[in-house]
Amino acid sequence: MKKRANREKFAKRSNPSIYFLLWATFSAFSILIVLLFSFTQNVMLKQSYKSEIAYNLAANGKAIRQELENYTGVEYSAFVRF
């Protein structure tokens, strides 16, 4: 076989910097998605904890008030003011 005179041994590939830019863009986008997801999960967990605490305080407060209203023990007169 004859070698062609003006042909390079390896064909010139496209500029590799475009692949780096694509990789960097994809990586940055992926990291951004993960960070947004973790931030929203953190906020949602805080909100759920706050609502759970508020619900428990309300339920326990109602139970305590009910116990105080139904109390007829030794120091009953101290609780009559409530």
CA 52 to CA 48: how far, in whole Å?
A: 6
pLDDT of residue 51: 83
So what's the pLDDT on residue 68?
72
Q: Is the dihedral of CA 44, 46, 49, 55 positive or negative?
A: negative
Q: What is the pLDDT of residues 37-82, one digit of tens each?
A: 999 998 888 888 888 878 877 777 777 777 777 766 666 666 555 5
What pLDDT score does 33 carry?
Answer: 97
More confident: 3 or 63:
63
* Residue 78, pLDDT score: 60
Q: Which amino acid is at 5?
A: A
AA letter at 69: E
Q: So what's the pLDDT on residue 4?
A: 57
